[in-house]
Amino acid sequence: MHHTTASSSRFPRLKGAPLVACLLLAAARPSYAQLPSEPVTLFDGRLVMTGELRITVAPLDEGYFNASDYNHNLLRLLTFGVLAEGRLSDRISVLANVEDRTAIGRLQGGGDRHVLLPYALFVRVRPWKRHAFDVEVGRVPRVFGAFATAEYAASNPLIGRPLAYQYLLALRDDSLPSSTTDLFANQGRGWRVDYPIGETTPAAGVPVVASTRLDTGVQARWRSRWLDARAALTRGTLSHPLARDNNNGNQLAGRIAVMPTPALVLGISAARGAFVDEDAVTALPDEALRRDTFAQQALGLDAEWSWSRFLFRTETIVSSWDLPAVAAPEIDRPLRAVSAMGEGRVKVTPRVYAAARLDRLTFSKVPDPTGARLSWEADVTRLEIGGGYRVRRNVTVKLAYQHNWRDTQRFDRARFVAMELSYWF
C-alpha cells in the first residue's frame, strides 16, 4: 500500500459539516411533532404512501470513495423518497418508489446536482392470500444479497454503504479496455473511467452490485417460517441494472435464506447475466469476439446473528466479469472482485446504539507488459465506526467516522466524519 499525503489535509474540512447538521436538527425539532409518523392513506386505504427524508453531510471526498453511480457522494446528499402502494385488490397491488436526490455542497464528478429517480415501479400479485408467495413484474427489488433488505436508513446502522454495493470500479458496460494497460491506467478511478472501445467519453464505472437502481423484469418470492426463497429474471445485471435492455441478454438471479433459529439467518445468492452493452461489442475489432457473450456472474454468502441488544452481519460476494481479450497484454481471464464485510450493532440505551463495519474489496490479477501479474483494480479497505440516537421512533441522528484505504499512488486514503438525520413515516 502506498501512503501519500494527498488526503491528509482533508480532515480539517469537516468543521462545518456537523454544525450544519446540528442546525438542521435544531430547526427541525419544533416542527417534527407535527410530521406524520404513520403511512398516509387516501381513497379509503386504496392508496398508501410512506416516505423517507435523509440529510447526510460530510467533508469533500476527493478520492471519490463514497461516490454513487450518479456522481453523487452518498455522504453529501439530501434524499427524499416516496413509496406509494395502490391496492387494486386483496391480491394485486402496484408499488411505485420515486427518489429525489440533491447533492449538498460542491459537485465533484460533474453531472446534475438534482436527480429524480424512478427507483421502483412494479405490480405485486399474491395468488393465495394466506401464503406468502408473491410475483412481481416491472422495475423490481433486487433478489441478490443481504443488503437488499436494508431499504430504509433505519436498517443501515451506519451512514456509508458496504463497498460491494457502492464503490465504483474501473469497469463499464458500454466502454471496454483493449488491454490490461488500459485497466492499470484506470485503477482507483471508478468515478471517471476512460476506455478506448465503445463509448469513449469518460464516465462513472459500476459497483459490484448497484444499490441505487433497480432492474427490470419479473421475480417470484416465497417465504415460510424457515425459508425465504427468491428468483428473478431481469434485463440488466447486478452491476448495471437496466430499464431497457442493451444487449439482448437477461440475468437470472436468486437467493435462498434459511432461518434455522430465530437468531440466525444464513443466505446464499447467485446471479448471471449478459453485462456488456451491444454497442461496445459491435465496436470490437474482431468478428469472433463480437459473437461472444460477456457476462457478469456472482455468488454471495451472508449471515446475520442477533440476540437481545446485539446484531451482527457478514457478507461475502465473489463477482466476475468476462471481457474480450483484444490486444496484448491480454485480459486472459474474467476480472474478479471479492468483497468481505462484517458489521455489528449494539443498543446501549433505548435511544442510543453503537455500530461498526469493516469492509474489504480485493481484485484478481492480470498480466502487465513485463509478464508480472498485478491486480486489475486497486484493493480498498473501509472501516466505519459510529452510532445513532433515536430522537423519536422515526427520527434518527447518526454520527460516523469512516476511514478508507486504497492501494493507489494518489488519494490512497481518506477519512471522514459524517452525520445523517433521517425521518420516515
The DSSP call for residue 154 is G
Count of alpha carbons within 13 angstroms of residue 196, beta-carbon side: 13
Cis, bond preceding 329 (omega within 30 deg of 0): yes
Among the listed residues 57, 103, 115, 148, the single contact to other proteins using CB under 8 A? 148
The whole-angstrom distance between residue 213's C-alpha and the CA centroid of its chain comes to 8
Q: Does 371 bind other proteins (CB under 8 A)?
A: no
Q: Which stretch binds other proteins (CB under 8 A): 168-176, 181-189, 386-394, 409-417?
A: 386-394
**Residue listed under C-alpha cell 425521518:** 423
Phi, psi torsion values for 272, nearest 5 degrees: -150, 130
Among the listed residues 26, 31, 43, 90, the single contact to other proteins using CB under 8 A? 90
Contact 192, 109 (CB under 8 A): yes
Which residues on adjacent β-strands are paired with residue 381? 360, 405
Among the listed residues 9, 31, 248, 308, the single contact to other proteins using CB under 8 A? 308
Q: Does 48 bind other proteins (CB under 8 A)?
A: yes
Which residue, among 398, 404, 394, has the nearest Cα to 386 in the 3D structure? 398
Contact 302, 145 (CB under 8 A): yes
Q: Does 29 bind other proteins (CB under 8 A)?
A: no
Q: Does 49 bind other proteins (CB under 8 A)?
A: yes
Largest CA distance in the chain: 71
Q: Shortest gap between Cβ of 265 and other proteins (angstroms)?
A: 10
Q: Does 313 bind other proteins (CB under 8 A)?
A: no
Q: Shortest gap between Cβ of 15 and other proteins (angstroms)?
A: 31
Among the listed residues 22, 100, 223, 374, the single contact to other proteins using CB under 8 A? 223
Among the listed residues 23, 88, 132, 268, the single contact to other proteins using CB under 8 A? 132
Among the listed residues 12, 31, 43, 129, the single contact to other proteins using CB under 8 A? 129
Among the listed residues 24, 137, 233, 259, the single contact to other proteins using CB under 8 A? 259
Residues 6+ apart with CB under 8 A from 30: none
Q: Does 185 bind other proteins (CB under 8 A)?
A: no
* Helical (H) or strand (E) element with 175: strand 175-176
Which residue, among 19, 21, 153, 142, has the nearest Cα to 79 in the 3D structure? 153
| 85 vs 196: CA distance, rounded Å | 44
Among the listed residues 83, 115, 183, 298, the single contact to other proteins using CB under 8 A? 83
Binding residues for other proteins, total number by CB under 8 A = 48
Binding site for other proteins (CB under 8 A): 33, 37-39, 41, 44-45, 48-50, 83-85, 90, 95, 97, 120, 124, 126, 129-132, 134, 141, 148-149, 151, 221, 223, 225, 259, 261-263, 306-309, 311, 347, 349-351, 390, 392-394
